[in-house]
Amino acid sequence: DEALRLSDLSAHLGISKSTTHGLIRALVAAGALNQHPQDKKITLGPATVELALKNQIYLQLGARSQPRLDELRNQINETVFFGLLRPWRTLILATAEANNPIKISSPPGSTILLLVGALGKLFLSQMDDTEVRRIIKTHGLPQYTKASIIDEEIFLKEIADVRQSGYALDKGEYLSGINAIAVGLGDHFGLQLALWVVGFAESLDSEKIDKVIEPIKATAVKLRKTLKTS
């Protein structure tokens, strides 16, 4: 239930700290453990979720969120997603597709790259700028489209805006002609959850984005309350 330090795990396992450190590094790389970038404390990672979508607890997360996703979809008529943020991919747990013949679609169980677009900004906004710079140095800022942000200082400004506003935007930065809005839902069973809306730029344009931000944030508040009771 609580995060542990390397020394705690070493003592519990009865093996040396150096051996424990090597195991932790391997398991963090595999997503089986998470290690906080500042205090280095260790928690269980979400990799097993991808192997265990049939596990009842994760099915329940998707099922409990579905009515809220449907409600938001009916309100804004754009595709709504609910999922798990993990290094370095996002796992979709539930979705409510827009009521349009041509729409954004991706089923539960699908994964998408995390360090791009709105979800990447949302994920990185939970870290300080030193850690964000380290990640940028390691992974770079790829130019997926003409709108992709490849300047480090501009990108850091975007991250600061996310911390202040509580939501992240992607205006064609990952896929041309596709816009997205993402809001964090906090921790649940030690998992970082998020709600995001994706649509074609012709429909989800700047004017509509301004109109749907508040409904999305309101749904996030309802979802947090719903998940707390699960």
> Once rounded to an integer, what is the mean pLDDT over residues 102-110?
87
Confidence band for 19, pLDDT divided at 50, 70 and 90: very high
User: What Rg do the C-alpha atoms of the chain give, in angstroms?
Assistant: 18
Q: Are 41 and 4 in contact (CB under 8 A)?
A: yes
pLDDT, one tens digit per residue, over 28-85 is 888 888 888 888 899 887 776 555 554 566 677 888 899 999 999 999 999 999 998 8
| Of 98, 97, 96, 93, nearest in space to 67 by CA | 96
- For residues 170 and 38, the model is more confident at 170
CA angle 117, 175, 166 (to 5 degrees): 25
pLDDT at 161 over 60: yes
pLDDT reported for residue 86:
77
Phi/psi for 94 (5° steps) reads -160, 155
What span, in angstroms and rounded, lies between the C-alpha atoms of 170 and 201?
Answer: 10
pLDDT reported for residue 54:
46
For the chain, give the percent of residues with pLDDT over 90: 58
